[in-house]
Chains A and B, each alone.
Chain A
Amino acid sequence: AQSVAQPEDQVNVAEGNPLTVKCTYSVSGNPYLFWYVQYPNRGLQFLLKYITGDNLVKGSYGFEAEFNKSQTSFHLKKPSALVSDSALYFCAVRDKANDYKLSFGAGTTVTVRA
């Protein structure tokens, strides 16, 4: 069965500092990995995905993520966080053989203080 884990419920950083949100995954085959962001009372916004190719994936709003197969990780990063990055972040994995269903992590609340 496919699954992802987000080990941190909350991440707090100061504006301008680097931001990292951790995610590890477990799949039987090749992983299809995604990051989404959710603002209060809103749906999820797609940030980036890893399907194949370069391990460093660049996405929206200055975010990037690094796929590490040996560590089964897909951490989300931003070099310089903004207050507006404060939101709930979800990592998700899809097993293509599983009818394109996404399995989500529990979510990590990011708070960027001014």
Chain B
Amino acid sequence: GAVVSQHPSWVICKSGTSVKIECRSLDFQATTMFWYRQFPKQSLMLMATSNEGSKATYEQGVEKDKFLINHASLTLSTLTVTSAHPEDSSFYICSARMAGGSRTDTQYFGPGTRLTVL
């Protein structure tokens, strides 16, 4: 149980285009989803917190107009990188926090999406 999927697992795009990444909780409902960014051999940097039905909360320094987050349901959150540039190339990981139950305190992570912007 507690499986989180991401799609696509990797994507290559041209500079200036937009890319959408999906994060789904497959066997549970997620009250909150989180989006992280990870550079090679570095830790995870929290980008934003996404709550179902409300606007995302962005961390300081993260451009909300560039990284659009939509949490349309309790099982789906999307991250859209708008007008992508090579510096946006990174490994993007989502996580989901289970709603209710004894496992509410655990975040379950997706497998990540490798974005390369040419």
Contact = CB atoms under 8 A, between A and B. Distances in A.
Given A43-B110, A101-B49, A94 B93 contact: no
A13 B90 CA distance: 30
Chain B's interface: helix, strand, loop or mixed, by majority? strand
Contacts of A42: 111-112
B114 A90 contact: no
Contacts of B2: 46
Contacts of A34: 106-107
Contact of B105 (A51, A99, A104): A51
Given A46-B106, A51-B105, A99 B49 contact: yes
Interface in A50-81: 51
A41 B111 CA distance: 8
B109 A104 contact: no
Contacts of A90: 43-44
Interface in B40-83: 41-44, 46, 49, 57
Given A41-B112, A42-B111, A46-B106, A100 B97 contact: yes
B114 to A, nearest CB: 7
Contacts of B4: 43
A46 B107 CA distance: 8
B67 to A, nearest CB: 17
Q: Which of A51, A101, A106 has the most CB of B within 10 A?
A: A101
Contact of A32 (B6, B44, B105): B105
B109 A43 contact: yes
Contacts of B28: none
A34 B49 CA distance: 19
B106 A43 contact: no
B105 A94 contact: yes
What 4 A-B pairs come out closest when comparing CB atoms?
Answer: A44-B109, A43-B109, A43-B111, A43-B112
14 contacts: A36-B109, A41-B91, A41-B114, A42-B111, A43-B6, A43-B93, A43-B110, A44-B109, A46-B108, A90-B44, A94-B105, A99-B32, A99-B49, A102-B107
Interface of A: 32, 34, 36, 41-46, 49, 51, 90, 94, 99-102, 104-107
